Structure 1
């Protein structure tokens, strides 16, 4: 997202508790080499990343915890 969301949806985002998500990624630099490395290790048939230490699965619960979403 390049800027703040439209004022037309701001109230909806606030009411649903998703307003904080509009700031995710701001101020973060994306490293294309790291992103490419993860993409190469993604196994869509298993929904996992295949890493040297083993397989890593990202679940919806992981996303909920990382984004501090309320249940």
Structure 2
């Protein structure tokens, strides 16, 4: 039995990057460059293995909403799965184009998978410019280290 699967979107009018997307070469049976994956969390989780987080600190991480990230731990990458997802990701529409239809990642997905909060006040950075010295003083004040003055 054969299936008539269309590997790309049925209507590709909005895909203005289609001529430079790596999927084009795949669909045309051309050689595609091997993807190199980099990640920055290996040293972080290695450090956590050597220096376990105390319950007191973990409580604050949980309160901040990042407990799910710490609890998930280090995961090995599935290179085949990542390549398949990259080949199907369309930056123009922020969706994965799969044989069954289009799929996107929502904030609710992030909330369920990582436990990261998606409701509440927005954290968007500094409201007004400040010097490095001012930021150091603010950090010490907020952390309660008693070193609110710079020597």
4+ residue segments displaced more than 3 Å: none
For the 8 Å contact 2:66–2:115, the answer to whether it is kept is: no
Stretch moving more, 58-67 or 16-25: 16-25
Q: Name structure 1 gaps, 5 residues minimum.
A: none
1:64 and 2:111 correspond: yes
Q: Distance in 2 between matches of 1:25 and 1:46?
A: 31
Give 1 or 2 for the bigger CA radius of gyration.
2
C-alpha RMSD of the superposition: 2.4
Q: Which has the higher strand share?
A: 1
Q: TM-score, normalised by structure 2?
A: 0.37
Give 1:25 shift: 4.8
Q: Name structure 2 gaps, 5 residues minimum.
A: 1-40, 120-151
How many pairs were matched up?
A: 67
Q: Distance in 1 between matches of 2:83 and 2:98?
A: 13
Q: What residue number does 1:49 align with? A: 96
Distance 1:64 1:43, change over 3 A: same
Q: What residue number does 2:67 align with? A: 19
1:29 and 2:76 correspond: yes
